[in-house]
Structure 1
Amino acid sequence: MKKNKIRVGISLGDYNGIGPELILKTFSDSRMLEFCTPIVFASGRIFSYYSNMLKIGDLPINLINHADDAQKKKINIVSVWREETKIQPGQPTLESGKYAYLSLKHAVDNLANNKFDVLVTAPVNKKFIQSKNFDFKGHTEFLASYANEDNPLMMMVTENLKVALVTVHEPLKEVPKIISKDLIVKKIEALHHSLITDFLVKKPKIAVLGLNPHAGDGGLLGDEEDKIIRPAIQEVKEKDILAFGPYPADGLFGNARLLHEFDAVLAMYHDQGLTPFKALYFSEGVNFTANLPIVRTSPDHGPAYEITGKGIADITSFRNAVYLACDIFHNRKFYKELSANPLPKANIKE
């Protein structure tokens, strides 16, 4: 039986960044339109401007008013706004931030109404998107609030490495005040669940990082490992979750053999996890928001204003975000069907 094409909703991001280029170049490959049906929430004028600037012609663009009107094998653009906007490639503005929010809001509203299946978000500028309607530190927090989920999990994903975070967009000085045993337990449990349902790992093994250099070095360099992190690991082990650590971040990421023994790594804070991840996989990694009822991915980079309009943006991460969103959608469906119809236990007589 052939699978139905997944409908991929896409928010534009900051139109003065590389978002429009990523979308146009990704779906200018006709094979991508065979793979899924893109539905972009934006303005036709934005894509007309960038397709002319980047000299990308003969695209099967379908301008529509509603997501219901999307067609297969087309780049469907839902007209979120029709008024003219000032396009300034490479320059973030309050106006481009305003329309980045409008695109995102229309996309999530349509997703909530089952108008498409998965959401891929192009990069925004976290400062210029701020408004009375968007008082969040990023996509992760906005989507968690929209879904009324108090334990979202930010993950960076490639085939070879998955890194999740306990704290996300928090100032470093605040991290020791935020982490607690209960919070770490919740994040380990969310990561464990995601590995099973989203990635179909049967019995995940999770490496948990320490907070301090050398994972505290026996209390010499900090006591959070002994007071908070180890007790959290012990608690989840009692729930039959295979979590290990705490490991020093440099020791784990510097030891490829040890690192590859685990299905995922849980880092305590943003740069502890993302710096080594991006050093290894920057061009291909994907940002995935786990532990939400919806599937949302994005490329693992920002708007890249310094190269906007030059036609040199690497689409690999964005394209992988589309692939991963579709894979997770199928995996969740498969896991749900498998769980709903387990094989009956056989009564074996001795």
Structure 2
Amino acid sequence: MTNAATQGDLIEDSGQLRAVGDWTLAHYQRLRQLTADKTLDTQQLDLSGIGALDTSGAKVLGTLVGPEQLVDIDHWGSALPQPRRELLRTVGEAMNNMAGPAPAETQRVLHWLDGIGEHVIQLYQQQVLLLSFIGQVLAGFASTIWRPSRWRLTSVVAQLQQTGLNALPIVALLTFMVGAVVAFLGATVLADFGATIYTVDLVAFAFLREFGVLLAAIMLAGRTASAFTAQIGSMKANEELDALSSIGLPPMELLVLPRVLAMTIALPILTFVGMLCGLMGGALVCLVALDISLLQFTTILTNNIGVNNYIVGIAKAPIFAFVVAVIGCLEGFKVSGSAQSVGEHTTSSVVQSIFMVILLDALAALFLMEMGW
């Protein structure tokens, strides 16, 4: 055998390339240069002339014809001895499994997409669970409304005090200050057009349609929904819910329905108070900064602002209250039993409640705008 054949070579023979010589580690660099930029089909390559063969030579052949073809060596290289076919097949399988790690940028993108997918799945599961819980609450109301003996009036009154009466000062103060801020901003912008008188319309529209109910609902979402979650979650952690069920007292009827009913009653009242306080804050700014008297303020209010704006705002309150109360109670039932879980679900109830309130308000605004209401 010549020196070239000993080193390993590719010889063209009748339109076909024939591998000859030793395809081993000792000749690896020469074989790499020889096969560089070449890609052959198995019908174009004859391996019967190969002398010695090791994994390095098999890897070069895999690069030449592709790892998949090495794995399939029994179909096109049956002339080779069985040990060499086993070697080529093993190297081909190893090359198929050697797909290196994705680049760092690709890994970051995949990790980001994976995180988005997990959050989407969690959001879907959360919404399905929320709809299921809403169905249970409505079924609970339907089963108890015709049975006065099962009404928990004491619990409803206690929750009304906590949800409505105790929240009244903070809601009134918040809406009063926001009303003053809206009036200041409106006056600043409208002064450039000589239309500061329309500050009254701006404050009235904002609080009757949006801010009154929205601020009250957000305040209850942060103040009361978290309280519902913490109360029910603590009972869940202390196994008090299991104790109630064991003595025949359904937690839904005892804990959830009074809270939902109390918030549904309280939020419209707080919304009405928020509307009044917001208008009072705007009226004070108009009186002090714009020289618009209270009589003029009320005259413009009654002449330019229709009662439909008040109805739109107050009609949203029971819907927002129901959603906030249901989310607060649901997160309480999802507590797993530790103090950390109570904190996590309390935070989750506040975030979900505020998000749902703003989402529903935005959808309602779009719908009412399209309907011309």
Question: Counting helix residues as a fraction of each chain, which structure ranks higher?
Answer: 2
Aligning the two structures, in what range does the TM-score lie when normalised by the shorter sequence?
under 0.3
Structure showing greater radius of gyration is: 2
User: Which has the bigger relative contact order, CA under 8 A and spacing at least 6?
Assistant: 1
TM norm structure 1:
0.22
